[in-house]
Structure 1
Amino acid sequence: DLLDLDMNVLTDQYIAYLNSMSSLHLEIASEYLVELAILIEYKSKKLIPGTKDELEQESEEDIKSRLVRRLLEYQQFKEVSSDLLSMFEDRQKLMTRPVSSEVEQWAAPAEDQHYSGSPYELMKAMRRIMMRMQLARPMETKLTVKEISMEDRELEVRAKLDRLPSTFRFEALLDDVRDLPMFIATFLSVLDLARQRKLVFTVDDDDVIWFSRGDLYA
């Protein structure tokens, strides 16, 4: 029982505990090192003649209680570590469902980028376009549900590209857009074309999104 151990034995165990933490590459908190310094000072004074009264004034019981608390914490840490290791070993025995080919395709890093600017800049530019078109405001007219196929919208965008110059603004694709779902479908379509390297886009300092043909455009 740690509570019944001699102070010298506790000190030796505490130092061994710190060494164990170091060997496990665990960061040793500053308060542990402070208490180690106090213990070293305590042991040093015990070896010096004539310091018995001074040691008694420093309350050996206070140092001992703190030391016991730290060692009990370490004991709990070892128990939790053992439980985590057991859980990890059990998890390794389970079969994991393989990732689908679609997920691998989207997760794979691109060989090169087909855009200029951060995603934040792109979203900010899109928001400004929406505000300019007043699509972000609630509509007061009666709403009707209209399903929009992204595949169909992409075909419509491709048809528009044949009539546009080599470099054009995103707004050039929005002449037939009247509501937010159509705006989003158009935006996702051009992003998919950029992913296919059929379009290249950039965002300038005025939050204008510019597009041009990519090297796989045909």
Structure 2
Amino acid sequence: MLDITNDIEDSVPSKQFNISLNAYEGPIDLLLELARKQKVDLSEISILELAEQYIRFINEYQDIHLEIAADYLVMAAWLTYLKSRLLLPKEEKSEDHTPEELEEALKYQLQRLEAFQSASKKLYKRPLIGRDIFYGGSSEGLKVKYNITYSSTLFDLLRAYSTIIQQDEKPSHLTIAFSELYSVDKAIQRLKNIFG
């Protein structure tokens, strides 16, 4: 029997989808296995009730990993498919699958599911960036960002504006002192006198 939730790493929530129908009560993976081996009568199982219980399960455990919910959905879909094959009249077509072919397809799906689960276990055991591994900072050093906020009122702004206007009313003059101009020969002679 394929057990979905017990083999997964502890970091994955282990909530098992147990169904309660008139002909069966227990985990869905066991029901699928029994249906595959034809040890349970699928005609007595209500697919509508199964779908409603699946929706309630997903709504109740919204924190469950998407992979586990998808596994349960695949199982419910296979059960629905098997029951629909049971209920629909059989047509004589060359494309019609035999029960052995369906069983092989189901085995293949279960093997794929098991392979995905073992791969996910291996991935969960590996170190995770941000949880187990932390990269060092950049070599440029720490950059500090400042977020400057001003808490001024309209009155403060008007007072500052009037202060600036009053200062501008006083004329200020810039005077530049006139320096003596030298010819090239006089400048060379002056540099020789200064530097010896």
Same fold at TM > 0.5: no
Higher relative contact order, structure no. (Cα contacts within 8 Å, ≥ 6 residues apart):
2
Larger Rg: 2
Richer in helix (by share) = 1
For normalisation by structure 2, the TM-score amounts to: 0.31
